[in-house]
Structure 1
């Protein structure tokens, strides 16, 4: 009798712990995302839609604007962030696409002329579908995070960032390292709302400080490939490096490499460093780069935004801090 009860108990635990969760995951992955996608992509009368080029599918999809914004927030910012930071990201994402919507006189996506934007983060904004959100977060976190992002988007519905009455280019990045950059220090163009501002509290970022070591031979090889006419000591290249100019944000703007003056951005790209706020030192047969921050450093710092939210700042406070002289308003329908 006791053995039978034990067998039944083991079988019940097996069903509860193994079979049921697996069935839930299969069920949700099979039907939930598609159902959400179908419902979300049903365009209501007079509702603004985004023509999105989906790279993985190599086609353009029409998506309601607010649903598109959810996909951007889910792709671009950790869903565990404070709700006010998510709201700030939602408004920035909406502003970005609104400025480019062809139905509103925007220029659209230069890589895909028939689309407003694409989902390639190196060109436009990242974006993921609800199915991709499920894979990213897992079934048990999906409902919580999706609901949280939906709340952030709904509570800021229609809001965009304006400078002198026009939508801005709301650039953003992961981690500034304590201070953001002026636009001209990175790309050469002065943009009045993209000014350098302090960004405290970013130490929680996993990429606040990073170390990368490269063999001296590789460093020399990359430099010579980039600048074939450069004069540099292959045994002691770092001995001929010198910072010439720093930006207002404290990053390397220009530096001397041998007989050439190069930009910090060129060195960052050449050695695939996290930012242009870096220093170097020799470590035997390697050169060790230590970087602070992650990204170009212009505009909104995502980890800085979350730090502000943790201190009680609203999404409007966050946006007005990182974008100088702007206002946040409901867009015209």
Structure 2
């Protein structure tokens, strides 16, 4: 009898320990995962609805866990209104600074416009816009970010490198009043649940909580699509110098974003630069060590202006600042998709100059020296790989035959790479992963002197 009581007591204690331990582990795990607040929409009219039959709930100053199918918010003529799907005749007038929270128990998420999101939604009414902020755990968020920023079919190690870089970047932004980060390429792209796949979730799960640190602080883990051979120093793009964001070799030669052209008509330039009456001439005042434009002087009909490479890229919506500018004749017989014939192109080698490649020469540097385009040199010399030229190599360079022709000119911008060029190159990460490099090695190549550790609050 005594033995039976002892066994029963022992069994009861064991069950009590199991009940006590497992819920605590789950709770501690939930507490450890940071929450991220993501601005997903800012507009004058917003539609939010449930997925199928499971209702949403809305809470706020005037609603207390009200069950709804969907709602529409609209700002028009200094009036902000809200209507619910079930009673569209009743219109609620909303005040500035009002806030609502929309939740769902449905794993399929909440529809905001044409996209679905996990977690809950904070809705803010502001003077000019209605703002929707998605609130969710960082790991759930990253499952979509990795698929939004990088094709899910890419190598797993590249996706893992992206997961660690994106986690670090997002956590570095925490602490703003209404939201931590937005969902566009102003920060990092986040398009909701549709972007998440088994492979992107695997990349996130296998790197759970890992972040990049420098001297025990989160780094500013910037990344971009393609740098065209060399990444850029942070101080050559922005004012701040970060030791871990220094120029390194990139491995992005075989990618569709390596070379591109964009052309502008005279009327387009006048709209973009109305104060000086368009652009008649562009002077590149200085470039970085990798050839990216730092500052330019633009000449228009009404004067001149000086602008940074970063600003002109934004104004003209260019893919990068690794660019050169050329005015050419507008050939109306060509389709809009073709590159017009350059004024300085010569078909005969006898009319060309000869350049001997020196140390530090690139095709961009040579083209700039002779005031011609890279495409002209490539075509004239039948160069197959424009990223490879050898010291001592003889290159034919077309003579610049710009004339005072009265025909209208258009501006062609010849560029390389995509993005600001600082930090991790996504195409470079793909190449390294394909060559067998692990995520840690990829990250430590692009971010100098960093460590990869599980996230701690004191890293902020």
- TM-score where L is the length of structure 1: 0.71
1:88 aligns with 2:161: yes
Shift of 1:98: 2.2
The 5-angstrom pairing of residues 1-333 of structure 1 reads 45-56=30-41, 57=112, 58-101=131-174, 107-108=175-176, 113-122=177-186, 124-130=187-193, 132-133=194-195, 146-204=197-255, 206-223=256-273, 225=274, 227-228=275-276, 237-238=280-281, 241-258=282-299, 259-284=304-329, 285-332=409-456
Shift of 1:73: 0.5
Which residue of the partner structure matches residue 339 of structure 2? none
Shift of 1:65: 2.0
Which residue of the partner structure matches residue 11 of structure 1? none
CA deviation digits over 1:70-121, x for unaligned, max 9?
A: 11111111112111110010001111222234xxxxx23xxxx233333233
Q: For 2:189 and 2:271, how far apart are their aligned partners in 1?
A: 33
Moved over 4 A (4+): none
Contact map agreement 2:286 2:296 (CA 8 A) in 1? yes
SS of residue matched to 1:66: helix
Contact map agreement 1:278 1:289 (CA 8 A) in 2? yes
SS of residue matched to 1:88: helix
SS of residue matched to 1:189: coil
Gaps of 5+ in 1: 1-41, 102-106, 134-144
Return 247-256 or 69-78, whichever deviates more.
Answer: 247-256
CA change 1:45–1:221 in 2 (3 A) is closer
CA change 1:279–1:49 in 2 (3 A) is same
Shift of 1:170: 0.6
Which residue of the partner structure matches residue 39 of structure 1? none
Contact map agreement 2:252 2:258 (CA 8 A) in 1? no
Which residue of the partner structure matches residue 57 of structure 2? none
SS of residue matched to 1:181: coil
Q: For 1:181 and 1:193, how far apart are their aligned partners in 2?
A: 11
Return 268-277 or 155-164, whichever deviates more.
Answer: 268-277
Q: For 1:213 and 1:125, how far apart are their aligned partners in 2?
A: 28
Q: For 2:292 and 2:40, how far apart are their aligned partners in 1?
A: 33
Gaps of 5+ in 2: 1-26, 42-111, 113-130, 330-408
Contact map agreement 1:49 1:62 (CA 8 A) in 2? no
SS of residue matched to 2:240: coil
Structure having the larger proportion of residues in helix: 1
Which residue of the partner structure matches residue 30 of structure 1? none
Shift of 1:320: 0.8
Which residue of the partner structure matches residue 26 of structure 1? none
Structure having the larger proportion of residues in strand: 2
Contact map agreement 2:323 2:414 (CA 8 A) in 1? yes
- C-alpha root-mean-square deviation of aligned residues, in Å? 2.4
CA deviation digits over 1:177-219, x for unaligned, max 9?
A: 1111111111122122111111023422x22111111113432
SS of residue matched to 2:167: helix
Contact map agreement 1:280 1:288 (CA 8 A) in 2? yes
Q: For 1:300 and 1:81, how far apart are their aligned partners in 2?
A: 15
Q: For 2:322 and 2:151, how far apart are their aligned partners in 1?
A: 23
CA change 1:325–1:307 in 2 (3 A) is same
Q: For 1:115 and 1:220, how far apart are their aligned partners in 2?
A: 37
Q: For 2:328 and 2:306, how far apart are their aligned partners in 1?
A: 24
**What is the aligned residue count?**
260
Q: For 1:222 and 1:46, how far apart are their aligned partners in 2?
A: 49
